[in-house]
Amino acid sequence: MESKAILNLASLVTDDFAEAIQLIYKSKGRVIITGIGKSAIIASKIVATLNSTGTPAIFMHAADAIHGDLGLILKDDVVICISKSGNTPEIKVLVPLIKSAKNKMIAITGNPDSFLGQHANYILNAYVEKEACPNNLAPTTSTTAQLVIGDALAVCLLELRGFSSNDFAKYHPGGALGKKLYLRVQDISSVNEKPKVAPDTNIKNVIVEITEKMLGVTAVVENDKIIGIITDGDLRRMLSRVDDFSGLTAKDIMGNNPKRIQAEAMAIDALELMENNDISQLLVEENGKYAGIVHLHDLIKEGII
């Protein structure tokens, strides 16, 4: 029932939607979003979405507004009022106050002919035939419709502003989401050990280097350039083939053309490279020189996975 109601919203879109978008986009103020009951909760979510995508927004509860919070609204602010019926007592008190302050008002309502609809500058029709509640009472389908319209507003404004993933990262620096957008390989590899051996290093010292640096791998480096890699697996395979490895050196068992990544690359790109090649470590390069190791465990620890 809710999914059908969402599909039907497209048929209710009028020029008011585009004009409301332009109004917000060109406004020098903020977006104040208000509502009562479940609509107020939807208003809070839309505020959060707008703020995180480059449109400054503030939530104002309709009941609190008529008891002092009306001072939140400044001269250039645009007000979005959310109400299924558009006729609740709080809305009937609030709407004339907003009008008297000459702020432009956008209504998200399921009843365009309501008190709210008649007094709003723009109407975004959120009509639903019936609530998903068996009693057709609890706001379910109607709040879903309101939420979808709010998301549509946010996405249109995001596209108008040319809001990029880099911009998004600025507003989401914390948690796994933020790290996927801003964490770079060098942020991880710089705090790791930097195992390396020369091509002529004997196997005993190769084992010591891998063991001491505890990354399960070492780069084989010559003149600061990566020429190969030796992993724990390479050592096990060597031991299964030979009984005496005293005469072997790093270059005899190293893997050639190892997978590598640039220090400036995003950590999420390192994860993709590991997954595509079924490996758990990558050698890191910076300006053509060996710069360290990034391990799958590092990405797990940082919450990238």
- Torsional class of 288: left (φ above 0), alpha (ψ -120 to 50), beta (otherwise): left
Structure confidence at residue 55 (pLDDT)? 94
What pLDDT is attached to residue 68? 87
Structure tokens at 105: 């008002």
CB atoms closer than 10 angstroms to residue 41 = 15
Q: What is the DSSP string of 75-133?
A: TT-EEEEEESSS--HHHHHHHHHHHHTT--EEEEES-TTSHHHHH-SEEEE---S--SS
CB pairs under 8 A, 24+ apart, for 47-51? 49/150, 49/151, 49/154, 50/153, 50/154, 50/157, 51/171
State CA 114 to chain mean position distance.
37
* Three-class DSSP category at 12: helix
Q: What is the pLDDT of residue 176?
A: 55
CA angle 185, 187, 193 (to 5 degrees): 90
Q: What is the mean pLDDT of each run of 10 residues along the chain (305 residues)?
A: 95 97 96 96 97 94 91 95 96 94 97 97 97 94 98 96 77 61 86 94 95 94 95 92 90 93 93 92 95 91 78
Task: Report the alpha-carbon distance of residue 99 to residue 116 in Å, rounded.
Answer: 11
Question: Which position has the token pair 């010559």?
Answer: 222
Residues 6 or more apart in contact with residue 189 via CB below 8 angstroms = 263, 284, 291, 292, 293, 294, 298
Report which residue type is found at 195.
P
Q: What's the sign of the alpha-carbon dihedral 260, 277, 268, 299? A: negative
DSSP 141: H
Listed residue (192, 171, 170, 213) closest to 299, CA to CA: 192
Check if the beta carbon of residue 196 is closer than 8 Å to that of residue 254: no
Decide: 260 and 285 in contact? Cβ < 8 Å.
Answer: yes
- What is the chain's length? 305
Q: What is the secondary structure of 179-226 as a DSSP string?
A: HHHH-BHHHHHTTS---EE-TT-BHHHHHHHHHHHTSSEEEEEETTEE
* pLDDT of amino acid 300: 87
**Conformational region of residue 292, where left means phi above 0, alpha means psi within -120 to 50, and beta covers everything else:** left
**Model-level pTM greater than 0.85?**
no
What pLDDT is stored for residue 302 in this prediction?
Answer: 82
Residue where the block lists tokens 């051996």: 197
| Dist. CA 271–CA 293, nearest whole Å | 13
Round to whole Å and give the CA distance between 280 and 299.
Answer: 10
Question: What's the distance, Cα to Cα, between the start and end of the chain in Å?
Answer: 35
What's the pLDDT score for residue 169? 66
